[in-house]
A and B are shown apart, each in its own frame.
Chain A
């Protein structure tokens, strides 16, 4: 009897795992179809090194499955726990400090940002905007990185303050867009493209779930806030403010 139960339980676990793996596979199916279509129909060639590609594909499916599992077990609860604990503590200072530190610390070491700012430094050196020495390029890249990280910290801080105060999100975002538009007109051309892209690269795969859980957690614990209406929006600030700060940095350095 007991044996039967154990084997039954193993069966359910196995089915559960298989279901999760299958759902990750369906997430990747569109990419597989697109690549197959272009390889076979348009470019008319077979895949180079098919074995390695299939092996890589299996790793992607497995990795995505583990990540999603970890998301629901770890990242979402941590974000929510922190939001609830800080809200219960009732100290605005610590809540805002946490918000700023979360934005700053997750961005300053972001590999995509390091790559983009190094790229930006070499473009600026080519355009004779800064001296083509390693020292000045490194200093420029570091300045860019710090201003982006600082802006993400400020963005999360403002976003959290918005949730607490219940300010409507669209006024802040539209105000931000208007500032971006105005700054685009006066900022040096070499920095505009990078500034626009900087908004997109700041939000990493680990930061997004944490920040989303933080926002939704805060909005659901504070009276009069709706999690859907007020809980979201933090990521939008984190993609908007870097554009303003990077263009500002360009104006200060080149101006």
Chain B
């Protein structure tokens, strides 16, 4: 009974998210394009699958992943875990947070692999490139970028260095890379920054950022808790372009 309630609640919430898109498409078909939609039944079945799938996905995440992930993020950033000896001076040293960095990197990597938006873009990219860009290749490269980004983001929260310096430095790297990367990958690389942070990654990463900025002395959760998402959207651009540069370099060396 409880499950049915949660199911209906999530189902209608998902439906409400989709409603504007549905309305827009129906309006355009009826008033602007004025033509029947081909394979209408298949499309409707597909749409139902999407809503139903997202609903189950979200309920499952809420039941399984989010509670556990949030408890773990809280425990790993708990002062009594970070310095079991009770030596409070260790709390201010960035070297005491080894497990936190490792957890940040691994949770960033693994949630990105499970991110449905990234999967959608990977499917399209592999289709369009005729399989040259493999789905797993793209997903792993992006996930490595998110892992590095989130780990660096937690390091920033611990050390309290300003966010914008990291982001600006990242932009400079992206701009420089753009000029030497194979042209065909550039648009996809930029896109892969935007798709990493959605359903799975954001709640867990936000919990980690908030927990950490509460634990470290002198950090303000309201100001320092933000910003991890920005890291997670910037670094995949760098790794995707980097990987393209690497494969390009290998191919050119072989050709010589």
Q: Which residues of chain B from 174 to 208 have a CB within 8 Å of any chain A CB?
A: 174-175, 178, 183-184, 186-188, 190-191, 193-199, 202
Q: Which residues of chain A from 142 to 179 have a CB within 8 Å of any chain B CB?
A: 169-170, 173-174, 177
Which of B60, B81, B164, B187 is within 8 Å of A231, CB to CB?
B187
> Residue of B at shortest CB range from A196?
B230
Decide if B191 touches A105 in the complex (CB within 8 Å). no
Decide if B62 touches A169 in the complex (CB within 8 Å). no
Is B239 an interface position by the 8 A CB rule? no
Q: Which residues of chain A from 183 to 198 have a CB within 8 Å of any chain B CB?
A: 184, 190, 192-194, 196-197
> Residue of B at shortest CB range from A226?
B184
Is B8 an interface position by the 8 A CB rule? no
Question: Which residues of the other chain, B, contact A181 by a CB distance below 8 angstroms?
Answer: 168, 171
A64 vs B123: C-alpha distance in the bound complex, in angstroms?
A: 14
Decide if B109 touches A209 in the complex (CB within 8 Å). no
Q: How far is the CB of A113 from chain B (nearest CB, A)?
A: 11
> For this complex, into which size category does the number of interface residues on chain A fall?
35 or more
Decide if A63 touches B106 in the complex (CB within 8 Å). no
Which of B71, B72, B194 is within 8 Å of A199, CB to CB?
B194
Most chain A Cβ neighbours within 10 Å, of B35, B71, B168, B223: B223
A-B pair count, CB < 8 Å, reads 324
Which of B45, B56, B199 is within 8 Å of A59, CB to CB?
B56
Decide if A74 touches B46 in the complex (CB within 8 Å). yes
In terms of DSSP, what is the predominant structure of the interface of chain A?
A: helix
Q: A60-B56, A67-B54, A82-B28 are in contact. Are A27 and B121 (CB under 8 A)?
A: no
Q: Count of chain B residues with Cβ under 8 Å from any Cβ of A?
A: 100
Is A252 an interface position by the 8 A CB rule? no
Decide if B50 touches A74 in the complex (CB within 8 Å). yes
Q: How far is the CB of A88 from chain B (nearest CB, A)?
A: 9
Which of A52, A69, A190 is within 8 Å of B53, CB to CB?
A69
Decide if B167 touches A234 in the complex (CB within 8 Å). no
> Residue of B at shortest CB range from A208?
B117
A59 vs B227: C-alpha distance in the bound complex, in angstroms?
A: 31
A75 vs B51: C-alpha distance in the bound complex, in angstroms?
A: 11
Decide if B187 touches A109 in the complex (CB within 8 Å). no
Which residues of B line the A interface, CB within 8 A? 13, 16-21, 23-25, 28, 32-33, 35, 37-39, 42-65, 67-69, 71-72, 75-76, 81, 99, 103, 106-107, 109-111, 113-114, 116-117, 119-121, 123-125, 128-129, 133, 163-164, 167-168, 171, 174-175, 178, 183-184, 186-188, 190-191, 193-199, 202, 222-223, 226-227, 229-230, 232-233
